[in-house]
Amino acid sequence: MTLEQLRMLVTIADVGGILSAAEKLHKTQPTISVAMKKLEEEMGLKILSRDAYRASLTSAGEALCRQARVILKQSQIFSEMAKHLARGNEPEVRIAIEASCPLDLVLETLAKCEKKFPGTQFNLMGETLWGALDRLQKGEADLAISPWFEENLEFEAIPITSATLVAIASPAFRNHLETGALTLNDLQNSVQVVVRDSSREPRPQNFGYLPEGRHWYVTDHFTKKEIILAGMGWGRLHEHLIAEELNSGKLVRLNIRNYQSTLDINICVARIMDKPAGPVAENLWQEFSRITNH
């Protein structure tokens, strides 16, 4: 059995006869007839009914034809994958994403790249705080999308959007504190909800972390948000994650003296400086660059 025989079988089914199949495949009628005869001998069953003027598929032939379509489709996918890899395209591109980053622009860019390189698998890894950059630094990701906490000359980075961190709490939590602007002393005995850094070499806690005080640690921003909504603590979250709750009044902003209650921060896509990139990763990088230029 060959792919060519299966292609002939499917064409006979599609066009309704050996002669028409020969014309479509640019082959002689005897060539197709002999190929189908050999296939019948190999399979040990009758595939074509030759009783009528035009040969047609038997019930067994129709069943085999359905499977032949599947095999030919898989063969096409296999061939396209081989060509994709032969051009030097990566079989996989790994992207580490910090979980608080807005995903709209990221997914739009990935969708464009996926259509252009369907043979490449995109592996997205969710991380928190420094975790995405840690993956990139350790060679476990080709690109990282992360809040840009500080300049790092090891990375090449492109800002793709910005976000705002906001100190918030539930109205019930806020009502138990002093009226007017708060001080850090007012929050000293209140629980600050903190997302743990997912990197394996955690940096010293900062970015709003109060070293002296009570803390609850969580592994993701969603859990942090739910604890704060329940009135069990306070903390800073990205504004886009809590916009609905701020508008509805389920959460309120905290104005704290000598503390950055609101902090604007860039969201960047980063890669290792001067490290050669494969064609797919490079194309993805260029797509992110276009976001910045717009």
Look up the CATH architecture of domain 3-86. Orthogonal Bundle (1.10)
DSSP letter, residue 150 = S
Instruction: State how far the Cα of 124 lies from the Cα of 81, in Å rounded to an integer.
Output: 21
Model confidence band, residue 102 (pLDDT cutoffs 50, 70, 90): confident
Q: Are 160 and 268 in contact (CB under 8 A)?
A: yes
Q: Is the pLDDT of residue 100 over 70?
A: yes
Give the pairing type, strands 121-127 and 252-253: unpaired
The pLDDT of residue 114 is 87
pLDDT digits over 214-267, tens only?
Answer: 899 999 999 999 999 999 999 999 999 999 999 999 999 999 888 888 999 999
The number of CA neighbours under 13 Å toward the Cβ of 280 is 27
Mapping DSSP to helix (H, G, I), strand (E, B) and coil, where does residue 155 land?
Answer: strand
For the domain made up of 90-294, give the CATH fold. Answer: D-Maltodextrin-Binding Protein; domain 2 (3.40.190)
Q: Is the pLDDT of residue 85 over 70?
A: no
Q: Are 71 and 10 in contact (CB under 8 A)?
A: no
Instruction: State how far the Cα of 179 lies from the Cα of 83, in Å rounded to an integer.
Output: 68
Instruction: State how far the Cα of 243 lies from the Cα of 249, in Å rounded to an integer.
Output: 10
Instruction: State how far the Cα of 118 lies from the Cα of 233, in Å rounded to an integer.
Output: 45
The pLDDT of residue 122 is 92
* Residue ranges of domains in the chain: 3-86, 90-294
**Mean per-residue pLDDT over the chain, rounded:** 87
Instruction: State how far the Cα of 202 lies from the Cα of 278, in Å rounded to an integer.
Output: 30
Q: Which of 43, 48, 45, 44 is nearest to 32 (CA)?
A: 48
Quickly tell me which residue has 């499977």 as its tokens: 67
Instruction: State how far the Cα of 127 lies from the Cα of 158, in Å rounded to an integer.
Output: 19
Mapping DSSP to helix (H, G, I), strand (E, B) and coil, where does residue 257 land?
Answer: coil
